[in-house]
Amino acid sequence: MTLGLPDLLICDHNHKFHFVELKYARFNKVKLSPQQVSWISLHEKASVWILVKSLQGLHLYRAEQVIRLKEEGIKLEPHYFCPEPYDWVKIFDLLLYKKSHTILNNIN
């Protein structure tokens, strides 16, 4: 295993890879190791995401937000937020770049 490598590797129907780091936030803090921040930052132009579960719901962040996410926690505005019940179709559409959802930003 490589230090910092995200938890999920998804291969879509077009054989494109997508990486997702899974986190749980207690209060506002999101624990990201220096290796995770480094790996995500290094690959921020790829399809790399951080999905954070909190008591409020699911917060989806783009790779380029990783440093601010580590500093600010879930106070940082996510690319997408979804309270329960989770809209997994919309979340996966965002992760996999479906055109109908690429402009969504905090819309339920």
Which pLDDT value is given to residue 74? 97
pLDDT above 90 covers a percentage of the chain that reads 79
Query: DSSP readout, the chain?
Result: --TT--SEEEE-TTS-EEEEEEEE-BTTB----HHHHHHHHHTTTSSEEEEEE-SS-EEEEEGGGHHHHHHHGGGSPPSEEEPSSP-HHHHHHHHTT-GGGTT--S--
Query: Mean pLDDT of all residues in the chain?
Result: 89
pLDDT for 101: 36
Residue 97 banded pLDDT, cuts 50, 70, 90: confident
pLDDT recorded at residue 98: 54
pTM given for the model: 0.86
